Chains A and B, each alone.
Chain A
């Protein structure tokens, strides 16, 4: 099967049905290994055991930004090629990305209280992350409340592209402004500043979160395709009843 064949929703559904159980199983396995390694990781010399919150907070932050990146690519597909599967991908990614952003904000806040002495501060990193969460809610509102699904999808796609500006702002906010949030310590010039005993569990947890994101995203895409089938069948039913 060629890649282009997957653009057909029926073929895509068949592929999702085959791939989803495997992806879910791999994700479960990664979480089992990642959590075991995370619980046995040594305490940080400054932060103590609160460093264990990092194993949730950092992957959730990465995936929240990746989710928006995925929505931006899907938005191009919606607006330029007008492919329905691109719109399905964007719509399915929004609630998953919003949930990961919410996890990032809450775990960050719970990590901040013992580390910084405050749950929240309006610094550039925290504020730009909150803006990302609000953008996710905006996209969801456009998808879920538009009377005409086509117009709602196009408006959500435009907001997805405009909101993509926020992603580099989040990433570089700790370099551009003086923030309470620490600068990049993993993805930075000169390599990671984290000890391997903490870095490896973090990377395994990041893989597990990535598996979870794509499992949920594919499952949500499958649901959205089925929902659109239901909608088109109801329209057919209504047209036949009128005729």
Chain B
């Protein structure tokens, strides 16, 4: 594939996009595991939400 005389601009555009999308994915995945860990800790200590108490 020949990207011509402006290859640097094309490669830079794809690189920036990959970087931003990778950052978004990392943020979502790390945030999910953090929230799950905190919820697990709270539940282990016996803390429950009001709605959970109603269900019991």
Residues of A at the B interface (CB closer than 8 Å) are 39-40, 43, 48-50, 52-53, 56-57, 60, 95-96, 99, 102-103, 106-107, 110-111, 113-114, 212, 216, 219-220, 222-223, 226-227, 229-230, 232-234, 236-237
Q: Contacts A48-B4, A52-B10, A103-B17: A216 and B49 contacting too (C-beta < 8 A)?
A: no
B3: chain A residues at CB < 8 Å are: 49, 52
Residue in A40, A60, A114, A237 whose beta carbon sits within 8 Å of that of B47 in the complex: A237
Interface of A is mostly: helix
Q: Report which of B7, B24, B36 forms a contact with A49, defined as CB distance below 8 A.
A: B7
Number of A-B contacts (CB under 8 A): 96
Question: With a CB–CB cut-off of 8 A, which chain A residues contact B28?
Answer: 216, 219-220, 223
Contacts of B2 in A (CB 8 A): 49
State whether B49 touches A236 (Cβ < 8 A): yes
Chain B proximity of A88: nearest CB distance (Å): 13
A236 near B32: Cβ-Cβ < 8 Å: no
User: Which DSSP category, helix, strand, loop or mixed, fits chain B's interface?
Assistant: helix
Q: Which residues of A contact B25 (CB under 8 A)?
A: 216
Min distance, Cβ A171 to any Cβ of chain B, angstroms: 22
Asked, given contacts A50-B9, A230-B42, A233-B48, whether A103 binds B16 with beta carbons under 8 Å apart, the answer is yes
State whether B42 touches A234 (Cβ < 8 A): yes
With A57-B13, A110-B9, A233-B47 in contact, do A222 and B32 touch (Cβ < 8 Å)?
yes
**Distance A40 CA – B2 CA, assembled complex (angstroms):** 10
24 A-B pairs within 8 Å (CB atoms) are namely A50-B4, A50-B9, A53-B10, A56-B14, A56-B17, A57-B13, A60-B17, A99-B21, A99-B24, A107-B17, A110-B9, A113-B9, A114-B5, A114-B6, A216-B24, A219-B29, A219-B32, A223-B32, A227-B31, A229-B39, A230-B35, A232-B49, A236-B49, A237-B45
